[in-house]
């Protein structure tokens, strides 16, 4: 029995301390590996999010800019706007497919939200622009063709249109923008009827005349008549603003858009601001101006250098976005200087935080304002 007890020996204090030390070293290594892996995962995840958001934003802006000025008919700068009150910045299609505004320099029109700190408010130091084009769906005229002295179109199938819509009609010789004051859908297979009477039947803004010839003449009901033939087409007028605003997430800034020709019960007004992509800190733009008439950009200038009467000479747009990661994953505050389309952003301009940032730039040809 004594021999058995002599063989039962425990760990000494020294052995326990060595074991604890080795365990602590191993545990510390495991924790460091976990922390490093977690940090690497957060960095990778944040960079991926930033790149994904930036690609989406740039692809959307590229597509929209490329389609600016679209019309189903040959291009013309002579566009009759017969809306009551005349052409506004959102309907002056003849003055350019895009109208830009330089952040911190230009006075932005009322179509843009005011600057502020609430979600959707505009950021003062970022650029913005209004994009105008015809809608994706075109509608052919029915029989008989449009009469110059009438205020009525026969449309083969007007499904998708509504009373109060702001529309564009065009043929090889003329383009006009007007409001549909009434739309009658015929269920028996006959052509639908769309009218554009002067006054607009109490709709807003209504038509100042029923004459759809260029130039618009609002001094009489008949105005400047023009008969659209069977080859003419009708499309919805699309007008949208893009700008950088305060994000809804409270995480900084975001890319926004706002439709300007929303038809609500026949009253046309600007719609609500729609947040597209979070994490876009700034948008800066340069505009390629054709100075020789060959539909190619000869120089790139800021919006305030284009001039109010020269937007039809813009044939391309250079867009630069400054994006940042959702989380503050860097070890130190970002003190880098970034260059966006000629505009400098240093640590006094962008946020003094530990986010990573990246500049994305693209030059887009406006298909409907220049040679392919």
Determine, yes or no, domain membership for 27.
Answer: no
Under 8 Å CB-to-CB from 136, ≥6 apart: which residues? none
Note the Cα 245 to chain centre separation in Å: 12
Mean pLDDT of 252-267: 93
189 vs 259, higher pLDDT? 259
Determine, yes or no, domain membership for 28.
Answer: no
Determine, yes or no, domain membership for 7.
Answer: no
Total domains in the chain come to 1
Mean pLDDT of 276-301: 94
Cβ pair 234, 195 in contact under 8 A: no
Q: Structure tokens of 222?
A: 């008949």
| pLDDT tens digits along 38-67 | 667 688 899 999 999 999 999 999 999 999
Determine, yes or no, domain membership for 6.
Answer: no
* pLDDT higher than 70, residue 372: no
Under 8 Å CB-to-CB from 51, ≥6 apart: which residues? 358
Domain housing 174: 48-369
Mean pLDDT of 93-99: 92
Return the SS3 of 129. Answer: strand
Instruction: Give the whole-angstrom CA distance, residue 211 versus residue 225.
Output: 4
Per-residue confidence (pLDDT) for residue 44, from 0 to 100? 85
Helix (H) or strand (E) holding 264: strand 262-264
* pLDDT higher than 80, residue 19: no
Determine, yes or no, domain membership for 91.
Answer: yes
| pLDDT tens digits along 171-202 | 999 999 999 999 999 877 789 999 999 986 78
Determine, yes or no, domain membership for 11.
Answer: no
Determine, yes or no, domain membership for 56.
Answer: yes
| pLDDT tens digits along 73-85 | 988 889 999 999 9
Identify which of 210, 207, 153 has the alpha carbon closest to the alpha carbon of residue 184.
153
Determine, yes or no, domain membership for 88.
Answer: yes
* pLDDT higher than 80, residue 320: yes
Under 8 Å CB-to-CB from 342, ≥6 apart: which residues? 284, 286, 302
Mean pLDDT of 205-228: 93
At 35, the pLDDT band (50, 70, 90 cuts) reads low
Average pLDDT, whole number, for the chain? Answer: 89
């Amino acid at each position: 029995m004594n021999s058995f007890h002599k063989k039962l020996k425990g760990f000494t204090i020294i052995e326990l301390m060595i074991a604890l030390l080795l365990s602590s070293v191993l545990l510390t290594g495991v924790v460091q590996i976990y922390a490093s892996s977690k940090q690497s995962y957060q960095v990778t995840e944040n960079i991926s999010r930033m790149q994904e958001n930036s690609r989406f934003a740039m692809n959307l802006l590229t597509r929209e800019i490329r389609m600016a000025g679209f019309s189903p008919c040959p291009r013309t700068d002579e566009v009759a706007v017969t809306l009551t009150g005349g052409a506004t910045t959102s309907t002056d299609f003849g003055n350019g497919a895009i109208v830009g505004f330089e952040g911190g320099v230009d006075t932005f029109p009322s179509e843009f939200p005011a600057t502020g700190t609430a979600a959707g408010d505009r950021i003062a130091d970022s650029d913005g622009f209004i994009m105008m084009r015809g809608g994706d769906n075109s509608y052919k005229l029915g029989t008989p063709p449009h009469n110059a002295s009438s205020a009525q179109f026969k449309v083969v199938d007007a499904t998708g249109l509504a009373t109060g819509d702001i529309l564009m009609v065009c043929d090889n010789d003329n383009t006009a923008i007007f409001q549909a004051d009434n739309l009658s859908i015929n269920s028996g297979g006959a052509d639908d009827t769309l009218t554009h009477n002067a006054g607009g039947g109490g709709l807003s803004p209504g038509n100042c005349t029923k004459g759809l010839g260029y130039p618009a003449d609002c001094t009489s009901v008949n105005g400047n008549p023009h008969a659209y033939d069977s080859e003419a087409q009708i499309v919805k007028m699309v007008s949208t603003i893009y700008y950088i605003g305060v994000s809804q997430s409270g995480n900084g800034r975001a890319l926004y858009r706002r439709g300007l020709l929303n038809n609500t019960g026949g009253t046309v007004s600007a719609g609500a601001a729609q947040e597209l992509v979070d994490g876009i800190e700034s948008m800066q733009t340069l505009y390629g101006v054709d100075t020789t008439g060959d539909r190619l950009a000869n120089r790139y200038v800021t919006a305030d250098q284009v001039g109010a009467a020269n937007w039809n000479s813009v044939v391309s747009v250079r867009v630069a976005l400054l994006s940042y990661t959702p989380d503050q994953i860097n070890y130190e505050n970002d003190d880098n200087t970034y260059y966006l389309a000629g505009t400098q952003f240093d640590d006094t301009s962008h946020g003094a935080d530990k986010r990573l940032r990246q500049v994305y730039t693209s030059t887009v040809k406006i298909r409907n304002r220049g040679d392919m």
